[in-house]
Amino acid sequence: MLVSEVMLQQTQTTRVIDPWTRFLEAFPTPTMCADAPLSDVLRLWSGLGYHRRAKSLHDAAKMISDEYDGEVPPQVTDLRRLPGIGEYSANAIGSFAFGHRVAVVDTNVGRVLARALLNRTLSVRDARVEANALLPRSNTASFNQAMLDLGAQYCTSKPRCESCPVARVCKWNREGGPDPAPRSAGVSRPQPTFRGSDRQARGRVLAELRERPRSTQHLLASLVGVDVDRGASLIAGLVADGLIEQRGRVVRLSGD
Ligand code: SF4
């Protein structure tokens, strides 16, 4: 659950399934992940992008191994201490893995609440407050899953009200008026364009280093369309993030 939540933070489900399967085969326990070099984790992260998440997950595995006897802590407050785990992920793990009575609010759920419950635009904070107030006394994981599914499959940016299972009680559907969630209640941000981005170039550098250590010169030459100054800055950024190491002219994945 924890691994999938981190992988799903900025990547679509269909792209997560294979890396998630490979990851759990390689690291069936947090301690096995913690004991492996970061380079092994980065190789398993191929295809997912946003590689800082891989380092966060590796750091989280180390914290779980060192401070929680190798077991993922069940309390949401402890989950929030783990690197890379924010409020949404901690609540999702707390609800779905441990059955805690906490609301799981993403963009989709924020949209459902703004339309079906209140027919008014909600801030991120308001959406979380409303979601927690709406939680039933029991079966909260099923409730959270239903809200996520409702937002993902019916109450999308172009809602399918004619077939929606809560259409009869939906406030916006009954009262009408302007869409109260034209921008998805602001619970998450849209992703910037990938092509030509620093993110794409960073991914290219890491792809080269997954094969073997490379010279700086080789890496800069591999960044087609990226000038030398920008390329050097990107490599320095990856070093600063702890994802790669540079010794003299040779660059390698951290831990290789
Ligand atoms: S009836 Fe329409 S607006 Fe209301 S929850 Fe369903 S899909 Fe969303």
Interval 137-189: pLDDT, tens: 999 999 999 999 999 999 999 999 999 999 999 999 999 999 999 875 445 45
CA–CA distance, 122 with 187 (Å, rounded to integer): 9
Domains of the chain: 2-96 (1.10.340.30), 107-186 (1.10.1670.10), 198-253 (1.10.10.10)
pLDDT digits (tens, 9 = 90+) for 26-72: 999 999 999 999 999 999 999 899 999 999 999 999 999 999 999 99
* Percentage of the chain exceeding pLDDT 90: 88
181 ligand 1 Cβ < 6 A: no
pLDDT computed for residue 41 by the predictor: 98
Q: What is the mean pLDDT of residues 114-119?
A: 97
Going from the Cα of 2 to the center of ligand 1, the distance in angstroms, rounded, reads 30
The whole model's pTM is what?
Answer: 0.88
pLDDT at 193: 75
Q: Is the CB of 114 inside a 6 Å radius of any atom of ligand 1?
A: no
Asked whether 159 lines ligand 1 (CB < 6 A), one says yes
Q: How far is the CA of 82 from the centre of ligand 1 (A)?
A: 36
Spacing, Cα 140 to ligand 1 middle (Å): 21
Q: What is the pLDDT of residue 185?
A: 45
Nearest atom in ligand 1 to 111's CA: 8
pLDDT mean across residues, the chain: 94
pLDDT at 5: 95
Say how many Å lie between the CA of residue 170 and the centre of ligand 1: 6
Question: Best substitution site from 111, 113, 115, 117 to test ligand 1's pocket, by max atoms within 8 Å of Cβ?
Answer: 115
Percent of the chain with pLDDT over 70: 96
pLDDT above 60 (res 190): no
CB 209 within 8 A of CB 253: yes
Instruction: Give 17-76 as a DSSP string.
Output: HHHHHHHHHH-SSHHHHHHS-HHHHHHHTTTT--THHHHHHHHHHHHHHHHSTTS---SH
Q: Exposed (0-12), middle (13-18) or buried (19+): which is 115, by Cβ within 10 Å?
A: buried
Query: Order of strands across the sheet with 250-253?
Result: 214-215, 250-253, 244-247
* CB of residue 110 inside a 6 A radius of ligand 1: no
- The residues pairing with 214 across neighbouring beta strands, listed in sequence order, are 251
Contact 250, 218 (CB under 8 A): no
Q: Is the CB of 155 under 6 A from ligand 1?
A: yes
